[in-house]
Amino acid sequence: MSAKKDALSMTTPADSSKSESTYVIDAENAAEMARLTNQDRLVTKVMGGLFPERSDHSTIHEILDIACGPGGWVLDLARAYPEKRVSGIDISTLMIEYARYQAHVHGLNNVSFRVMNALEPLDFPDNSFDFVNARLMAAFMPIEAWPGFMQECLRITRPAGIIRLSECEMALTNSPAFEQINRMILRAAQVTKRCFSPDGRNLGITPMLRGFLHDAGCQNIQKKASVLDFSAGTEAHASQYQNTMVFFKLIQPFLIKVGVTTQEEIDRWYQQTLTEMQSNEFCGIWYYLRKCSGIPCGCQVWCHSSTALSRHGQLQYRA
């Protein structure tokens, strides 16, 4: 089967899975798909590019993006590096169909997309990939699922390959309404057992990543910090305003279902958030901690913190 047909193929054994999504937003929502597409590009830019950890990509041939959403990172990577083979998996049929269509429209013969649940054993042979990328798994990953997920990532990564994780904590702002909705989200994360923070002040995922990777058998952890300033007047403000507007709207059914708010209350805080974000006095910042391996490295942590590791080498740190 040709690569183009592979990208457009709508049926694989994994595609027929009836796995239930644990994502906090409806994974088949078109507005969420558009939001993720824009967020992908913003995150890639803030992190310094598709492969900010290294300049030599000659040893990377097969790449996997887990929970790829509408395939933004996969498609951008495939365009930038036509000699590499890039795969993406996601539980959302809508997003995978969209990603396949985009691959077809742009004539990308080096990509493939499959419907697959990251919470289940991944339908790939051992040692399949040189680079495994996973962003924002905490949006659907229960606390108890992390060790098994990391073992699967290690299993499908080749020796001397790279695992890159990107996770985020909540943004910090001077908007009372924004912070109130953040508190609701954190409370919901506690109730649904997705929060590692003992007092619920934040998700607490970013300090856990090194331990997850180390316990799975990974080595070579490096870290580098980045930051996204989306205060009024900054380049990122408009895109983050749109991102917040959509995200805070689409997450409302989840917050109400969990019991941390009512529709009347969240409507009030939501409108106030949008008003406060448009003020010239609005300040907001998101931290990124990128952890990378020492032999061709690969690790992102969004603090938005992210962590990446390779399977071999020495533990190294650099600013």
Split at pLDDT 50, 70, 90, the class of 4 is very low
Over residues 260-272, the mean pLDDT reads 98
Q: Which helix (H) or strand (E) holds 164?
A: strand 157-167
Share of the chain above pLDDT 90, in %: 55
Q: What is the pLDDT of residue 23?
A: 74
Q: How far apart are CA 312 and CA 130, in angstroms?
A: 13
Q: What is the pLDDT of residue 69?
A: 93
Q: What is the pLDDT of residue 112?
A: 98
Q: How far apart are CA 118 and CA 131, in angstroms?
A: 16
Q: What is the pLDDT of residue 29?
A: 83
Q: What is the pLDDT of residue 20?
A: 63
Share of the chain above pLDDT 70, in %: 82
Split at pLDDT 50, 70, 90, the class of 289 is low
Split at pLDDT 50, 70, 90, the class of 90 is very high
Burial class of residue 317, CB neighbours in 10 A (0-12, 13-18, 19+): exposed
pTM of the predicted structure, to 2 decimals: 0.84
Joined tokens for residue 290: 């990128």
Query: What are the pLDDT digits (tens) for 5-17?
Result: 343 333 343 443 4
- Lowest mean per-residue pLDDT among 5-14, 25-34, 99-108, 134-143: 5-14
Over residues 60-67, the mean pLDDT reads 96
- Amino acid, res. 276: E
Q: What is the pLDDT of residue 224?
A: 64
DSSP assignment of 70-101 = T-HHHHHHHHH-TTSEEEEEES-HHHHHHHHH
What CATH code would you report for 3-168+204-226+287-310?
3.40.50.150
Split at pLDDT 50, 70, 90, the class of 220 is confident
- Lowest mean per-residue pLDDT among 28-32, 186-190, 292-296, 300-304: 292-296
Q: Say whether pLDDT at 216 is over 70.
A: yes
Q: What is the pLDDT of residue 309?
A: 47
Q: Where are the domains of the chain?
A: 3-168+204-226+287-310
**Mean pLDDT, rounded, of the chain:** 84
Q: Say whether pLDDT at 58 is over 70.
A: yes
* Between residues 287 and 171, the one the model is more confident about: 171
Burial class of residue 256, CB neighbours in 10 A (0-12, 13-18, 19+): middle
- Lowest mean per-residue pLDDT among 40-44, 139-143, 157-161: 40-44
